[in-house]
Structure 1
Amino acid sequence: MRRHHAVVFILLLTLVSSLAAVTSGTPATITSPTPGTKLSSTSATFQWTTGTNVTSYSLYVGTTRGAHDIYFINTGTGLSASVNNLPANGGTFYVVLNSLIGAAWQQVSYTYIAMGSGTAASITGPILGAKLTTGTQLFQWSGGAGISQYSLYIGNTRGAHDIAFINAGTSSSYDVTGLPTDGRTFYVTLYSLNGSTWLAKSYSYVASGNGVAAAMTSPATGAKLASGTQLFQWSGGVGISQYSLYIGTVRGGHDIAFVNAGIASSYNVTGLPTNGETFYVTLYSLNGNTWLAKSYTYYSSGAGTAAYITSPSPGSQFSGTSATFSWMGGAGISQYSLYVGTTAGAHDIAFVNAGLSTSANVTGLPNGGQTIYVTLSSLNGNTWLSNKYTYQASGITLQFNTSTKDIASGLINYAYATYFDVSGGSHPYTFAIASGSAPTGVVFSGTAPGMLAGTPTASGNFTFTVKVTDSNNNSITSPSFTIPISAGPNGAHNSYVNGRYICTYEGYVDSDTSRIATLMSLAIDGAGHVTSGVYDSNGRSTGLLNGSVSGSYNLGGDNNGTITLSIGSKTLKFGMMGNNVGGSSVSQFDIAQIDDVGSAAPGQHGGGVCSKATTSAFSNTTMDGKSFAFTQHGENGNGIPRALAGRFTLTASGSNLTITGGQADQADGSSTLRAILFGGSYTEPGSTGRFTITVNQTSPTTDTSYAVGYVIDANHMAFLNADSGKAQVGEMYKQQQASYSAANLNSSFVMRDLEWALDGSGGLQWNRAQIMQGTGAGGSGSTASITINQSFTNDADSTGSEYKVGDSNGTATFTVSSNGRMAMNDANQVTVAYLYDNNSAFGVSGGQNVGSGLYGVAFNYIEPQMATTPGSGSYLSTVVPRIEPEGNINVDLVTLGSGTIAGIGDGGAAGGMDYASPFSGTFTTSSYGAFYISSGGEQVTSCFVVSSTRVVCIDDTTRNPSVSVSVK
């Protein structure tokens, strides 16, 4: 039994020894291709040794170690294998040879490099050249082809890694911290390992933040250099990758030198100017992709040469009051200037900064023959070099520009002023009476040269000449002038003015040209006295005023006179002209203010019309059930022009009257008209004819406003806006028909029109006066057409000449409503009028663009043309209202003969007056009732006949558009 166990043990030991001998061996090794080599094809035959005790072989080919994603083969006992479809991207791939020894596979690994070349990875974010927002940035890239590893170099120069080095392995992104934040340019190189070769792509970026420009440290700005060579040195700045210098004769220029200094902090510049001139250096510092600049000024070494005048020849005499100076340019000069004066080195005549120009035109030279001093200065660096010259002014050319027709007539004991205009010579002028005598009490003003002013104390015709002496003692004597000073009216026709008169006054405040509108009711006794008067006045500067009026008047035998009125706190004096010459009663007199002259002037000027009232009409019973058309014009409290036309009906309601059916259209400086509906109430007039109106607007908005008015007769009233600050005045006429149609606009008519535009402060920007003759062709319906046959226009922005309207634009169509409202639209403006009788209407126009964002405001009157030839006889003419505040406001008494005209006129303006000034001329007639007045060899007025006793005219000669109405 024991012997049996020994045998078994021996057998087991023998078996183990045998097995051990079987499983021990050596794995095969590849002999071809040589491991680590770069293949030349996408196919290869791999061969290997037999190894020892190897019973089977297999081959793995893969893109990563141990993988077989490219190829796998079990060759059994074969010692080679042909592999196709190997990569061709130059990348590394891996081969594992497996040897089966006993029951275990043993591996030997190899690397090879594929044929061809791979593709480097590319950064996809951030984009090339981007400016970063912080010091941390995620860099991302595409995978490339044939790449086994990535790394990043980040540096201040291309290819450097002094900022960061990153081995990213096979990752396709990396978040980098610690990047600069001073706006500099930095560089990123992305490396991709392709086989055994690193492929590189370079990028540049701009760091977040901003750098600091370098600053010049030497030489100091403003220094004068010692030579034409200079070492410029600067501080390094922050975040700067490059420096450059611009050196030029103008700021920012580089006409002297351009230097790319790279990263150096100094540069020695040669070839700098040596003529003492100013030159400019700009130091540029490249921060990221932005050049930061600092500018400096220096003066070159040496000295320049001053320019000198070549024309006109020094010492010569000028031929007139202007001259062009030319000069040779000098050396090292950056600017020229010219002084022209009456003493050496002065520039009281002219100072010219000529820049780099070598000539200058000087105007305003005196012409009195005196010596003129000229200094030409040349700026060399920071030093002015000068050459001085003298010339002789041109000879004396003093001349009078005032003619005899410009001389105003005066009135004894009334302040007077007239002006003499002189040109030529050298200022200042001295004026004196050379021969004859000026009116007693009237002398040349020392404070306003050329103004002959004072208060005449004697009447008569004063004839004299004027001597003017300039500052160089050159003189000229005028032709003979005559100033008529009237002794004043003798009161011979005082009895003609007797009863209650309603006056409409429109004027202007001198200090700000704001408008004043005033209504008055005057009791005049026929004996030179004004009693029991009342007034209402409104204006932007004056506000709403009312109170009593008293005064005195004198009307001469020629129906010209004066009237003095105490109105509130002021006493105002007017020229006064009455109609009905040769009769015994004046139904109308016109007034022109003549006291806005001298030290005691009231500071306002204006004029108006006074109509004799029918006092029996001062009751509500007269007005009950009547309808009225009305017009109103002026400015609001903000200086904006307003014009209004409309109609309403008065109906009894207790002791007052109720306003019903109120409709109006308003032009207010906008691009269209404003349509208004209203009602209200009307108080009964008192003994003075004064009444008040409350207007309750119902559309387009609700509002309440107030007016005050005066009854002239049962058909005619004047009224005034009573909202404080609004200088708006107008009149009303009773509508003579109960209903209207196109048939009421059906024959010849004359229209007069005044249009103006004000800015927001009340300043006049544009004005126009126009009169037109036309023909209406209304039918029985609501549509009426009109034809404008001829018109005359004086436009402050054009030539003011006559023109005719042609057929193509001489027609218009009105839509007529039963209440008398007529509406018309054309391409330029909107016009609405309200009929009060056949071919008689008040109109308003708006919406015409006159430039500068302003729209014109116009009011107009339409009246029937009853004749085309003026009747002979005397006419009372007035120019009220006048739009232009600077203009003379006139009233005239004229007599028309057979082709002749003669008369006298009163007028007033700011700082001037005219009383009983005579005039004469001739006139010719034409078609459509047009006639033209000439005086002194020139056409002065164009007119249309309205009837044998009524004419409207427009002034052709002044730049002050106005319309006058003359009544026989």
Structure 2
Amino acid sequence: MNDSLCRPASLFGEISLMRRNSTSAPMSVLNHNFVARASRVLQRLGFLSCLLTVALISLLALVMISCGDGTGASAGTPGLTFSNASLKGQYAFSFVGTDTGGPAMLAGTFLSDGNGNINSGVEDSNAISGILTNEVFNGTYSIGPDGRGSATITNSRGLSHLQFVIISVNRALIIQFDTFASGTGSINQQAPTDFNVSAISGAYVINFYGFSAVGSSYVATGILTADGRGALLGVIDENDGDFKPNLPLAGTYTLAPNGRGTAILATSSATSHFSFYVISRSVLTFVELDSLPFVSGVARAQQGAPFAISSFSGDYAFGAGGQTVSGPFASAGRLTADGRGTILAGVRDDNDTVNVTRNLAFTGAYTVSPQGRGTGTLTSPTTSYTLLFYMISQTEAVLMSSDPALVSIGEMSGQQSAPFGDSSVHGRFGVMDSILTGGLEQDVVSQITIDGAGTGHGLQDLNAGLLPTPPTVVTATFSISANGRVMATMSGARGQSDFALYLASSSRAYLVGLNPGVAERGLVEKQY
């Protein structure tokens, strides 16, 4: 848990402190041209809207980074107790947030000693105020029996604070908890035996999000193949309001003994520079080190190729976030694929801050290539979306809108344990969500115990527009349909809010807020 704290803290500590005290950063790391360009872009696009778009999308990547879904036998057991010893070892983190200067993205690594100390922290950050690489940090943390914790991170610019909830000894969800910065992130235990170039080999599905070279909201997905010797080849699809499919991609990568790597990726129109951190040979987390584009993301090892149309078959839950012409967009839903190119029994809930659409039924059609690249159309009585997806496996995929009017990316997971009911969900859960309301970003992390009869209770930490609040009691009521759609009402630090959740399993769910004027996206994971 201390690890999770460390990560977010370091991530946000770096970002927030960098923004607050940007004059203390070496001039060599400040790109003044970027500041000027970004200021013009953000004014044109709507500053807060763009920031939330990144926050909403980044939550999806946190699900994809997860090394497990909490289905272990110990999940939710009455005797489950956490402490400072719950996280010990080396962890990687990724984080996206905002401070008083604008958006910021970070990734890094640290060591946790299991006694409340964070050491040997190194991170890379990209923010409006500049790009910093190999920044050193350390810190302290404290974890309670319910898995809720706090951390203080120290770097050359001062202190920052985090709140978090432990999912397991391998993973935690975190938020920044300062008056000068807020954001969301995760930490994940690393596999040091994979800290070598030869371990990074084979095909990876990538999921990138952020801002394009002209400052508009940007999402991308594709296949990146590593040869285990430092060379990369692939194909990428991009959408920044101008959909660009099947762009050839080539590059190189290196990897240091601490699990930090560097990568150069080039298309015919642009060359981008990244740092990345190895969680395992199957999961890598990226942050770009260029002024613009300004993106971060995840790469997941692909399994099961070659694929066919029959590879996409069965029940799936999904979550997505991004930007429409109306503003930030959040969506969650479920569908059934028949393995022959037809989508059946689809239903979803959408919120773009102007329109809230509940329980919208849809059907559709799809194709799948041998490389796992799929295309599809989702059709309802009121809307029609075109999309593409890349299969990570037969039960997981990255999905992205190919509609220029909807810059959105998400994840799809095969549903397990259906049909569902109120008794399907019980035990202790971590919840993290990001919200835009009243022109301000709010980030929330909660620990909730659910009784299996439709009610839950716990504690919640909220950073409401750079105003951290004391821990607040949160209560919830749920009604779970057989298809995994959950109607929920929660009362906590923000008052009463309505949500739709879609169960990927009894241990994990995608969350979308249903409150007018509030775009909200989140995830729920069972503690174990």
User: TM-score if structure 1 supplies the norm length?
Assistant: 0.35
The 5 A counterparts of 1:122-271 are none
The equivalent of 1:629 in structure 2 is 317
The equivalent of 2:399 in structure 1 is 719
Q: Kindly state the Cα deviation for residue 768 of structure 1 after the two structures are TM-superposed.
A: 1.4
The equivalent of 2:415 in structure 1 is 735
Provide, for residues 225-274 of structure 1, a one-character-per-residue CA deviation record: whole Å limited to 9, x for no partner.
Answer: xxxxxxxxxxxxxxxxxxxxxxxxxxxxxxxxxxxxxxxxxxxxxxxxxx
Structure 1 pair 678–530 and aligned structure 2 pair: CA distance change class (3 A): same
Larger Cα-atom Rg: 1
Q: Distance in 2 between matches of 1:793 and 1:560?
A: 31
The equivalent of 2:339 in structure 1 is 652
5+ residue gaps, structure 1, are: 1-400, 420-450, 462-480, 483-490, 581-585, 597-602, 759-764, 849-854, 867-968
Q: Distance in 2 between matches of 1:549 and 1:632?
A: 25
Structure 1 pair 671–692 and aligned structure 2 pair: CA distance change class (3 A): closer
- 1:832 is the counterpart of 2:500: yes
Q: Distance in 1 between matches of 2:368 and 2:384?
A: 19
Pick from 851, 860, 872 the counterpart of residue 522 of structure 2.
Answer: 860
Q: Distance in 2 between matches of 1:749 and 1:492?
A: 31
SS of the residue corresponding to residue 495 of structure 1 reads: helix
Q: Distance in 2 between matches of 1:682 and 1:528?
A: 35
What code does the residue aligned with 2:200 have?
V
Q: Distance in 2 between matches of 1:756 and 1:715?
A: 31
What code does the residue aligned with 1:856 have?
V
Structure 1 pair 418–623 and aligned structure 2 pair: CA distance change class (3 A): closer
The equivalent of 2:448 in structure 1 is 774
Provide, for residues 395-424 of structure 1, a one-character-per-residue CA deviation record: whole Å limited to 9, x for no partner.
Answer: xxxxxx98799547x9xxxx73389xxxxx
Q: Kindly state the Cα deviation for residue 460 of structure 1 after the two structures are TM-superposed.
A: 13
The equivalent of 1:525 in structure 2 is 227
Structure 1 pair 404–567 and aligned structure 2 pair: CA distance change class (3 A): closer
CA contact (8 A) 2:311 2:339 kept: no
Q: Kindly state the Cα deviation for residue 743 of structure 1 after the two structures are TM-superposed.
A: 1.2
How many aligned positions are there?
A: 356
Q: Distance in 1 between matches of 2:347 and 2:523?
A: 18
The equivalent of 2:299 in structure 1 is 610
Q: Kindly state the Cα deviation for residue 452 of structure 1 after the two structures are TM-superposed.
A: 12
The 5 A counterparts of 1:843-854 are 843-847=511-515
- 1:593 is the counterpart of 2:257: no
- 1:574 is the counterpart of 2:244: no
Structure 1 pair 649–407 and aligned structure 2 pair: CA distance change class (3 A): same
Provide, for residues 809-828 of structure 1, a one-character-per-residue CA deviation record: whole Å limited to 9, x for no partner.
Answer: x2221111100000124674
CA contact (8 A) 2:306 2:370 kept: no
Q: Distance in 2 between matches of 1:714 and 1:405?
A: 50
Q: Kindly state the Cα deviation for residue 617 of structure 1 after the two structures are TM-superposed.
A: 6.8
Structure 1 pair 799–652 and aligned structure 2 pair: CA distance change class (3 A): closer
Structure 1 pair 817–525 and aligned structure 2 pair: CA distance change class (3 A): same
The equivalent of 1:537 in structure 2 is 238
Provide, for residues 65-98 of structure 1, a one-character-per-residue CA deviation record: whole Å limited to 9, x for no partner.
Answer: xxxxxxxxxxxxxxxxxxxxxxxxxxxxxxxxxx
Q: Distance in 1 between matches of 2:307 and 2:131?
A: 45
The equivalent of 1:841 in structure 2 is 509
Q: Kindly state the Cα deviation for residue 751 of structure 1 after the two structures are TM-superposed.
A: 0.8
Q: Kindly state the Cα deviation for residue 676 of structure 1 after the two structures are TM-superposed.
A: 1.3
What code does the residue aligned with 1:691 have?
G
Provide, for residues 418-464 of structure 1, a one-character-per-residue CA deviation record: whole Å limited to 9, x for no partner.
Answer: 89xxxxxxxxxxxxxxxxxxxxxxxxxxxxxxx999999xx999xxx
CA contact (8 A) 2:422 2:452 kept: yes
The equivalent of 1:42 in structure 2 is none
Structure 1 pair 543–757 and aligned structure 2 pair: CA distance change class (3 A): farther
Q: Distance in 2 between matches of 1:455 and 1:645?
A: 35
SS of the residue corresponding to residue 290 of structure 2 reads: coil
Q: Distance in 2 between matches of 1:694 and 1:453?
A: 40
User: TM-score if structure 2 supplies the norm length?
Assistant: 0.62
Q: Distance in 1 between matches of 2:511 and 2:132?
A: 44
5+ residue gaps, structure 2, are: 1-18, 33-127, 137-155, 158-193
Q: Distance in 2 between matches of 1:454 and 1:672?
A: 37
- 1:747 is the counterpart of 2:427: yes
- 1:663 is the counterpart of 2:347: yes
SS of the residue corresponding to residue 621 of structure 1 reads: helix
The equivalent of 1:556 in structure 2 is 256
Q: Root-mean-square deviation (CA), in Å?
A: 3.3
CA contact (8 A) 2:509 2:525 kept: yes
The equivalent of 1:30 in structure 2 is none
Q: Kindly state the Cα deviation for residue 567 of structure 1 after the two structures are TM-superposed.
A: 2.9
What code does the residue aligned with 1:670 have?
V
Pick from 459, 477, 484 the counterpart of residue 820 of structure 1.
Answer: 484
The equivalent of 1:514 in structure 2 is 216
Q: Distance in 2 between matches of 1:714 and 1:690?
A: 12
Structure 1 pair 805–525 and aligned structure 2 pair: CA distance change class (3 A): same
The 5 A counterparts of 1:7-18 are none
Provide, for residues 270-319 of structure 1, a one-character-per-residue CA deviation record: whole Å limited to 9, x for no partner.
Answer: xxxxxxxxxxxxxxxxxxxxxxxxxxxxxxxxxxxxxxxxxxxxxxxxxx
Structure 1 pair 579–452 and aligned structure 2 pair: CA distance change class (3 A): closer
CA contact (8 A) 1:591 1:607 kept: yes
The equivalent of 1:785 in structure 2 is 455
Q: Distance in 1 between matches of 2:405 and 2:447?
A: 36
The 5 A counterparts of 1:668-683 are 668-670=352-354, 672-683=356-367
CA contact (8 A) 1:544 1:724 kept: no
The equivalent of 1:619 in structure 2 is 308
Structure 1 pair 416–746 and aligned structure 2 pair: CA distance change class (3 A): same
Q: Kindly state the Cα deviation for residue 735 of structure 1 after the two structures are TM-superposed.
A: 0.3
